[in-house]
Amino acid sequence: MKTIRKILVLVIAFASLMSILSLGACAKKDSGKTKVGVSMPTQSLQRWNQDGAYLKEKLEAAGYEVELQFANNEINQQVSQIENMITNKCDVLIIAAVDGDSLVNVLADAKKEEIEVIAYDRLIMKSDAVSYYATFDNYMVGTIQGEFIEKTLDLENAAGPFNMEVFAGSPDDNNARFFYQGAYDVLSPYIDSGKLVVVSGQKDFETCAITSWKTETAQSRMDDLLTANYATGTKLDVVLSPNDSIAIGITNALENSGDFTPGTNWPIITGQDCDIPNMKNIIAGKQSMSIFKDTRTLADQTVKMVNSIVKGEKVDVNDTETYDNGITVVPTYLCTPVFGDINNYKELLIDSGYYTEDQLK
């Protein structure tokens, strides 16, 4: 009888030990919830703060445990944060990459752990661990910017010539080339015909690219362009800017030069993201338009992807051909961008609840 009791005690102790070990390795943690890791590139740009916050809110509302990290635009910091998410047994990773080429090794570790990876608005390159890509139609972003310039200058009918300078996005962001090419494909016939003149001659992507989308770098380049090409009164009609942080740098340089005044000789300036400072500039006549990529639309679609992954259901995508990351074509869902300007910003941004009127005062 004593022997039987000893055996029972040992069995119970072993079962308890296994239970403790199992809890320690459990992907769902103490909450019992599926865990989603969200890695955003930086908090220094308004849009990534909004994306991160909205994703966290919507994922938690859907019942997930969320680990949200911002990488301060540092590649090594983002890699370290993703490594921690893998160690912490996240089931799904949502990643907006600082550098699309720099996550190969850490995502190989994620794949070994059978963690699904969604690239968020920036395609992750050279990795077969990327399960899906959620983004806006980035070529269309550039197309809309180009068409806005075409329509505003009436390039089809006006005699011209009009003087233009070209800026492009960060070369380590795969989206930047789509923005550039979409706009350039609209404008290049007018450049070739001489109706649009790039006075500096700087129009290829590599020359015009602004690393890390930095406002300061864009301002410095614009300062140089103005000094070299417009100091003697040459008119500047338009500046193609791919996003709002670059547009702010361009605007700062124009203001500092003292040679340009909104409403008189201020050039057309494009943008993207509808950041608050840029919308204020649009209202003040210092920026002409900005592409609106509604954080809510992209985040909602990404949460739908996560739901389908977790439930083992088919994930909704609408492009299985375009986004080749150098290793594989990544199944993609493309949301549709629109633009905001002085004529429609109230309806687009305030009436929809994206901003309050006070935020844009």
3-state helix, strand, coil in the chain (%, to 5): 45, 15, 40
pTM: 0.80
Residue 12 confidence (pLDDT) above 60: no
**pLDDT tens across 277-287, in order?**
999 999 999 99
Average pLDDT over residues 31-55: 90
Same fold for the pair 35-130+294-336 and 138-293: yes
* CA-only gyration radius of the chain, Å: 25
- Output the pLDDT for position 359: 95
Residue 19 confidence (pLDDT) above 70: no
- Output the pLDDT for position 295: 84
178 vs 15, higher pLDDT: 178
- Output the pLDDT for position 30: 47
- Percent of the chain, pLDDT > 90? 86
Report how far apart, in Å, the C-alpha atoms of 184 and of each of 129, 159, 281, 335 are. Answer: 32, 20, 24, 21
The pLDDT-based confidence of 166 (bands split at 50, 70, 90) is very high
- Output the pLDDT for position 244: 97
Q: Which H helix or E strand runs over 40? A: strand 35-40
Residue 151 confidence (pLDDT) above 80: yes
- Output the pLDDT for position 4: 45
Q: Which two tokens stand for residue 217?
A: 């770098």
**pLDDT tens across 25-34, in order?**
334 444 568 9
251 vs 14, higher pLDDT: 251
**pLDDT tens across 228-243, in order?**
999 999 999 999 999 9
**pLDDT tens across 121-138, in order?**
999 999 999 999 999 999
- Output the pLDDT for position 235: 96
Task: Using DSSP bridges, classify how beta strands 92-95 and 35-40 pair: parallel, antiparallel or unpaired.
Answer: parallel
Give the strand order in the sheet containing 162-166: 196-198, 162-166, 238-240, 268-269
Domain ranges of the chain: 35-130+294-336, 138-293
Average pLDDT over residues 54-83: 96
How would CATH label the architecture of 35-130+294-336? 3-Layer(aba) Sandwich (3.40)
DSSP reduced 3-state for 98: coil
Instruction: Report the distance separating Cα 37 and Cα 53, nearest Å.
Output: 13
Average pLDDT over residues 237-261: 97
The pLDDT-based confidence of 45 (bands split at 50, 70, 90) is confident
The pLDDT-based confidence of 313 (bands split at 50, 70, 90) is very high
Q: Which residues pair with 341 in a beta bridge?
A: 289
- Output the pLDDT for position 344: 97
CATH class for domain 138-293?
Answer: alpha beta
- Output the pLDDT for position 174: 87
- Output the pLDDT for position 259: 94
- Output the pLDDT for position 31: 53
When the pLDDT of each residue in the chain is averaged and rounded to a whole number, the result is 91
Average pLDDT over residues 266-292: 97
**pLDDT tens across 171-209, in order?**
988 899 999 999 999 999 999 999 999 999 999 999 999
Phi, psi of 166, deg, nearest 5: -120, 130
- Output the pLDDT for position 324: 95
